[in-house]
Amino acid sequence: MHVEIRHSPSFALGRLTLAGGEVARVESGAMAAHSAGVHLDAKMEGGLMKSLRRSVLGGESLFMSTYTAPDEGGWVDVAPRLPGDVFTAEVDGTYILTRGAFLACSAELQLDTKWGGFGNLFGGEGGFLVHMTGTGTLVGSCYGALDRQVLAPGETITVDSGHLVSYDEGIQISARKAAKGLVRTAKTSEDLVFDVTGPGEVTTQSRSPDEFVEWIIPLLPFSRS
């Protein structure tokens, strides 16, 4: 599977070019267009319980779409829900995504949702993460522009909970309150940050979906009644 990213970084989409008979796995609802002859199938990957775990806890769809190219090959365009960028990662082992960041992958990769070890009771992006395992190409998405940063062993940066997108398996994540005592914001998702320690690559997004929701809800007509 070859991935071409177009219209980056504000309204990006990814074109998945497939050889004859090649299969791509795509988040349900993410297909924007495809070439003639590409076959679509949708099913609950890994059975009901695994699909429910991925949907309810991982922020992804219950059903996974699979697209199979005809003998002459074909392509599938995939687009995220929110305006922003699309990125790729070559996975060899395990790669970790936060809620809603998965877009598509080659057939060799497996998805599962696992507890990340930090409480989602604080709000924000939560403690359940999507784990991609195997060897293959991952296509992810973010809200706004994407930043990639490679951390040296022991190097640490602090990331707001709503801006973390994905990271390598070797990265260590520790959650904490952003401020102590009374110097805290009223909104809990702003109050949680992650200390991210290398070695490995971490990706962040320039906008936070939670911040956008918090801003827009008071402007909606039903919220004023």
pLDDT at 135 over 50: yes
46 found inside a domain: yes
Query: For residue 131, what are the domain limits?
Result: 2-218
10 found inside a domain: yes
223 found inside a domain: no
Percent share of the chain, pLDDT over 90: 60
187 found inside a domain: yes
Tell me, what's the pLDDT at 50? 53
Least confident of 16-20, 67-71, 140-144, 174-178: 174-178
Structural domains counted in the chain: 1
Tell me, what's the pLDDT at 46? 54
Tell me, what's the pLDDT at 188? 45
Tell me, what's the pLDDT at 58? 43
CATH number (domain holding residue 166): 3.60.160.10
pLDDT digit string, tens, across residues 95-129? 999 988 999 999 999 988 876 654 443 434 446 78
138 found inside a domain: yes
Q: What is the mean pLDDT of the chain?
A: 84
29 found inside a domain: yes
140 found inside a domain: yes
The count of other CB atoms within 10 Å of the CB of residue 82 is 15
Tell me, what's the pLDDT at 113? 84
Average pLDDT over residues 46-61: 49
Tell me, what's the pLDDT at 219? 85
Binning pLDDT at 50, 70 and 90, where does residue 61 land?
Answer: low
pLDDT at 147 over 80: yes
Binning pLDDT at 50, 70 and 90, where does residue 83 land?
Answer: very high
Average pLDDT over residues 23-45: 91
224 found inside a domain: no
pLDDT at 143 over 90: yes
pLDDT at 216 over 70: yes
What is the Cα–Cα distance from 145 to 129, expressed in whole angstroms? 21
Average pLDDT over residues 183-187: 48
Binning pLDDT at 50, 70 and 90, where does residue 93 land?
Answer: very high
pLDDT at 12 over 70: yes
